[in-house]
Amino acid sequence: GENVEQHPSTLSVQEGDSAVIKCTYSDSASNYFPWYKQELGKRPQLIIDIRSNVGEKKDQRIAVTLNKTAKHFSLHITETQPEDSAVYFCAASKVWSGGSNYKLTFGKGTLLTVNP
Amino acid sequence: DTGVSQNPRHKITKRGQNVTFRCDPISEHNRLYWYRQTLGQGPEFLTYFQNEAQLEKSRLLSDRFSAERPKGSFSTLEIQRTEQGDSAMYLCASSLGGTRRSYNEQFFGPGTRLTVL
């Protein structure tokens, strides 16, 4: 089955700096890669996702890059703010194919702390 | 509130007791997922429904676990003869289903935190 590794497990940055979180996946058939943000005691919420036919996607201060050959993808947050502090999870899934199973396989998470 | 809802939010039980959790997905969503999350870990897939059909079950789902989704609406997850290792946050998610990218976004509920004493 799919295995997703996520690094680092904790990341501390100063407000205004950039933060990068990296994930690798094992199943070359995975084609959908969402990122979720989970604040303490709250539900995971999707912040950005990318399909395997796209190399990069941006949404304001957040961007995700995907390298299918190397089977890794990264989350980039620029101009970090204290409210960005949370646990971030990457995930991988197989969708839109004959072998779709839709379940998400998550990484172990990265605790991001943005210091004012 | 039109999001995914779960009840109860917290459940404390003694080892050996049975517990049942409920998930109400977003109304038009035909796919429903159960995940389990322990402290410091990402959610782990347990099982998945498309409408009322349970299409996949994880190896994590032992015989003590059973899930149903009658009529393709709400879902229940039952754990029989609970063990201390069952203590976790049980998350439900739903998605619309279909071929468009946006239809596959999974929306999570707030979870049910189970503590087995």
pLDDT digit string (tens) for B5-36? Answer: 999 999 999 999 999 999 999 998 889 999 99
A54 min Cα distance to partner chain B (Å): 12
What's the pLDDT band for B61 if we cut at 50, 70, 90? confident
What's the pLDDT band for B63 if we cut at 50, 70, 90? very high
pLDDT of residue A1: 85
pLDDT of residue B72: 86
Contact A44 B40 (CB under 8 A): no
Contact A43 B105 (CB under 8 A): no
CB burial of residue B75 (10 Å; 0-12, 13-18, 19+)? buried
Residue A3 has which token pair?
């295995």
The answer to whether A103 touches B104, Cβ cutoff 8 Å, is: no
CA distance B50 to B56: 10
CA distance A104 to B115: 25
Query: Which sign, positive or negative, has the C-alpha torsion A24, A26, A30, A34?
Result: negative
Q: Is the pLDDT of residue A71 over 90?
A: yes
B80 min Cα distance to partner chain A (Å): 24
Q: Which of residues 57-86 of A touch B (CB under 8 A)?
A: none
Q: Which of residues 86-105 of B touch A (CB under 8 A)?
A: 91, 95, 99, 101, 104-105
Give the position of tokens 């049942």. B20
For B104, which of A4, A32, A105 is closest by C-beta distance?
A: A32
pLDDT digit string (tens) for A15-55? Answer: 999 999 999 999 998 999 999 999 998 999 999 999 888 89
* Phi, psi of B42, deg, nearest 5: -80, 165
Question: In chain B, which residues have their Cβ closer than 8 Å to the Cβ of A46?
Answer: 105-107
Write down the mean pLDDT value for chain B.
Answer: 92
A42 DSSP assignment: S
Q: Is the pLDDT of residue A9 over 90?
A: yes
pLDDT of residue A102: 83
Q: Is the pLDDT of residue A58 over 70?
A: yes
pLDDT digit string (tens) for B77-112? Answer: 999 999 999 999 999 999 987 655 555 789 999 999
Q: A97 touching B, CB under 8 A?
A: no
Dmax (CA) for chain A in angstroms is 48
Q: B36 touching A, CB under 8 A?
A: no
Residues B38-61 have a mean pLDDT of 91
Q: Is the pLDDT of residue A99 over 70?
A: no
* Phi, psi of A83, deg, nearest 5: -75, -5
The answer to whether B92 touches B23, Cβ cutoff 8 Å, is: yes
